[in-house]
Amino acid sequence: MLSIGQKVPDFELGAFHNEEEEKIKLSDYLGKWLVLIFYPADFTFVCPTELEEAADNYEKFKEIGAEVLSVSTDTVYTHKAWHDTSSAIKKIQFPMVADPGGKLSRAFGTYIEEVDDEGLSLRGTFIIDPDGILRAIEMNDNSIGRSAKELLRKLQAAKFVREHEGLERLANYGARGPLSLERLSQLADGRLSWRMKRPSASGATSLEFTP
């Protein structure tokens, strides 16, 4: 199973996209942020609501330089049948990846081996940066749905940190007590400056950060 900070290996898989079957490689998306949304199966109850919300927010993902792929262990033909018959799934414009052999699901640790649900995928969401490095993981039991808006927020945070060196220093300060953002401003040279506040028994302390 892949871990945070690891380089994601390349995979070639079939996908249903733009009313057609096509072959895609994960390496096709190097240079972009990539979001993988694994779900149990087509023609289930929770999955269309999750994927519909992702479809409704797809333009927002693209605006910040990201591509979205949904993934299940169904075939391309099952994806097409679901897309043709579901009003929610018809909204999807991103590739619907077919992983019937489970090789991608196994690599990301979502593949279910237990007898009752063998061959299905857990609800897993992964954010991969433009260099192909895994930056965020969310894994849920299949009874728990996910929020595309929360996923978009995580992606925006990951992109912001990547583009603004120095923000990682907040983790060290946060270890000494909870921090809250008091002010975020942009300097004349384009750099961002943060003022963080930490409450304490003697009163709140403000800390300035300028990378």
Distance (Å) of CA 99 to CA 34, 53, 74, 153, 172: 17, 22, 6, 27, 40
Q: Quick check: is 57 catalytic?
A: no
Amino acid at position 165, single letter: E
Pick the catalytic residue from 47, 104, 134, 152.
Answer: 47
Measured between alpha carbons, how far is 197 from 63 in angstroms, rounded to an integer? 32
Q: Which of 165, 191, 193 is nearest to 181 (CA)?
A: 193
Amino acid at position 33, single letter: W
Q: Identify whether the C-beta of residue 35 lies closer than 8 Å to the C-beta of residue 155.
A: yes
If one counts every other C-beta atom within 10 angstroms of the C-beta of residue 146, the result is 19
User: Residue 121 has what DSSP assignment?
Assistant: B
Question: Which residues, other chains included, contact 26 with Cβ-Cβ below 8 Å and sequence gap of 6+?
Answer: 8, 9, 10, 11, 34, 128, 132
Q: Which residues are catalytic?
A: 47
